[in-house]
Amino acid sequence: MKIDVTYHALLARRMSNLSHLILIALGGLLLVGLKKILDSRSRQKRGPYPPGPKPKFLIGNALDYPMNGAGHHFMEVGAQLQSGLVYLNVLGNHILFINQKSIADDLLEKRAKIYSGRPQLPAALAMGWDTTNVSLMDYGDTWRKHRKVSQQHLNKRKTKSYEPIQQRHLHKMLHRLLHSPEDFWQHSEVLSTAIIMDIMYGYQIDRLDDPANAAALKMLELGLPLVMPGGALMNVLPFLRHLPSWVPGNSSGKAVKECGFWTREMLRIPLEDLAKRMKEGTATYSIVSECWEKKGTADADLEAESVLYGVTWTMYAAAMETTVSSTTCFFYTMVMHPEFQRKAQAEIDKIVGTNRLPTFEDRPSLPYIEAIYREVMRYAPPLNIGLPHASREDDWYDGYFIPKGATIFANLWAMTRDETIYRDANAFNPERFFDEHGELNDDDQVLAYGFGRRVCVGKYVASATLWITIVSILACFNIEKAKDEYGNDIEVNDEYVDLGLTMHKKPFKCRILPRSEGARQLVEDVIVGERK
């Protein structure tokens, strides 16, 4: 099967399928909606729900959920209602958007025992994601086992041991930018998966059409729309997952089956590659190889090995969607704000100099780079409404009733654009993270990594990867608007593509030029040195 692995093509296909998927699902919702509504009305109402759009007869708020741009939409709805909470009843399904960080802290952090569940989607179960994707697992013993293994390998201390891997792949990216800067988007995509695949399996990815990369892209193209609100009819009619795809109304069945295949391929390819390299004696250190080396010893843990496969799969899939989103956002903001770019480069030149490339040891001494990192993550959080939480029991908050089983979204888009916290929030400005004395302020919680017990376990790896990418590119290159054939600037669009779960910058062109001949030589020399 031929796979188009360009990220631009992936965005286009997912955009074209989005409206169709949601309309199909809405039709199915009507089949069961009346029963759910009547059932809910037959039960005693526990109390007032939080404010929300006025429901319509029978279908409730089914038409109030936008096909895209949910974060921005429900931020505006909350502003109109003058509420930090927005409640919807979609055919008997309770959905709650949290628009204020203080409320997210109260519910998702302080009451994490109640709000650490995940909605269980039949489409995810049918694709096998319930046993492979830690992010989608419901709160319980299985999730705890996966979380424990994740923390063992991805905690702050352990992450430091991965820094040589991150720098090596970043240096490769710098070399690619030097020789084919026009392909910066593709270089960002390769980097986003190369680092995590090396850490997890010792698997080397140097091109976008690598078999493992291609399988992962195909899996995401097919699978992500199916776990979106309204993405698959079987999420409303669970019995459909057990029926053939040709059964009327089960249009998502074929996509689920195909996605399941690519999910297994994504796991198989790097594991078989690692087994081959270990047999040949050429394997480098990786998390999985370390686990395999313990086989047959007193330290062996077969259950932990199985759990580890789910952790590695999750990290791989997450990196593909989020790291590339943040990296391309960085390129975009530097094109649009050369004043911030120049200040950052001045800091690098002062602290690092021009005779070497930056390292992780420089991070505490580069506050302006840290501010740019924070602002990139604030300005365009990859998961703009986060992954959904699920309430595990009835609860009350500020006089409002939140029922057991409600789906809870932390609206990161609204929180990062809260004008009471971030003045002129729609503008990109890293200097908002400095106090009146010119020191970094204490606003160092990156909301994009989530809340409570479901916070992203790979946040230390993700933070390190994005930081070393930002500082290294700024040390070596100037990022400018592209020129047309007459030497005029090509204006850059300011649009983002919202795919429901993730948000990406709409493709654009720019010029990436070495800052000096010395910078060019640094990039060439570091690659030569690492090849020896």
Binding residues for heme: 456
Number of neighbouring beta carbons within 10 Å of residue 336? 16
Could you give the 3-state DSSP secondary structure of residue 485? coil
> Residue 56's beta-bridge partner residues?
60
**Dmax (CA) of the chain:** 75
Give CA angle at 176 (311, 491), nearest 5°.
100
Number of neighbouring beta carbons within 10 Å of residue 302? 9
| CA–CA distance, 109 with 253 (Å, rounded to integer) | 37
370 near 440, Cβ under 8 Å? Answer: yes
| CA–CA distance, 101 with 51 (Å, rounded to integer) | 17
What does 339-404 look like in DSSP terms, one character per residue?
Answer: HHHHHHHHHHHHHT-SSS---GGGGGG-HHHHHHHHHHHHHS-SSTT-SPEE-SS-EEETTEEE-T
317 near 201, Cβ under 8 Å? Answer: no
Annotated binding site: 456
Backbone Cα Rg of the chain = 24
311: Cβ–Cβ under 8 A, 6 or more apart, which residues?
Answer: 134, 146, 149, 150, 153
Could you give the 3-state DSSP secondary structure of residue 481? strand
Give CA angle at 142 (137, 143), nearest 5°.
45
122 near 240, Cβ under 8 Å? Answer: yes
Tokens (6 digits) for 123:
């489409």
What does 101-163 look like in DSSP terms, one character per residue?
Answer: HHHHIIIIITTHHHH-B----HHHHHTTHHHH-GGGSPSSHHHHHHHHHHHHHHSHHHHGGGH
